[in-house]
Amino acid sequence: MDHVLTLLSKPIVLTVMTLTIGSYLFARLTERRSKRDKIREKALQLLEDVGNDLNSVISLMYGHIRNSNFEIQKDSPVYEKRGGLFTKRFSVKIRSRAFLQSEEFWQRFEQLMFEIDKIVRFMGSLSETYDLADVIKRIKEHQERFAKEWPFEERSVRSEYPPPSNELVKWADMVWDRSVWLLSKNLASILR
């Protein structure tokens, strides 16, 4: 036993052991950091993809609303982009669990997706001769329902448009503001 202790106390042996253990620990630390960086990159890519998808459909919705163009055909870009959100549900759910460790992200994404769907379908259902009072009442009911499902501090200042565009803009703003919040909150958590 004394022979082993004497051998281990030699400076060259101590140096070799220190370098070996240090190299192993450094390799493990580098491997963990690399894995964490890859997950971070994938999480950022998820947020970018979701943000681009939401932005593309919401922007088209705003264009229709602000121009009071409620005739949305089934083959229009708005319907196509809206449908694209539904095709990505599974991927968003899996990637948000894996890369963000978040159930809230995909659940809120689905809420936004279904709300966008409601807006687009509502606009598409308006005929040339609609009852303005009834349309405004129905939009306000949708706004109230959405506000109860996802409480949020609504913006106080908005541009004014003739009815029912003004009410539709408020509804679309509710979706936009929640989308920005969802993406910003998750981006901030990734960048910590």
Q: CA distances (Å), 123 to each of 62, 107, 135, in order?
A: 11, 25, 10
Q: Which domain holds residue 169?
A: 39-191
Tell me whether residue 129 is in a domain.
Answer: yes
- Classify residue 7: in a domain, yes or no: no
Residue 188 pLDDT: 95
Amino acid letter at 28? R
8 assigned to some structural domain: no
Is the residue at 76 inside a domain? yes
Query: Is the residue at 154 inside a domain?
Result: yes
pLDDT at position 16, please? 77
The predicted structure's pLDDT at residue 159: 77
8-state DSSP, 102: -
Our count of domains for the chain comes to: 1
Question: Tens digit of pLDDT per residue, the chain (192 long)?
Answer: 677 777 667 778 678 778 788 887 777 887 888 889 999 999 999 999 999 999 999 999 999 999 999 888 888 999 999 999 999 999 999 999 999 999 999 999 999 999 999 999 999 998 778 899 999 999 999 999 999 999 999 888 777 889 999 999 999 999 999 999 999 999 999 988
Task: Answer yes or no: is 23 within a domain.
Answer: no
CB-count exposure of residue 76 (10 Å: 0-12, 13-18, 19+): middle
What pTM was estimated for this model as a whole?
Answer: 0.85
Which residues, including other chains, have CB under 8 Å from residue 145's CB and lie 6 or more apart? Answer: none
Residue 54, both tokens: 């939401």
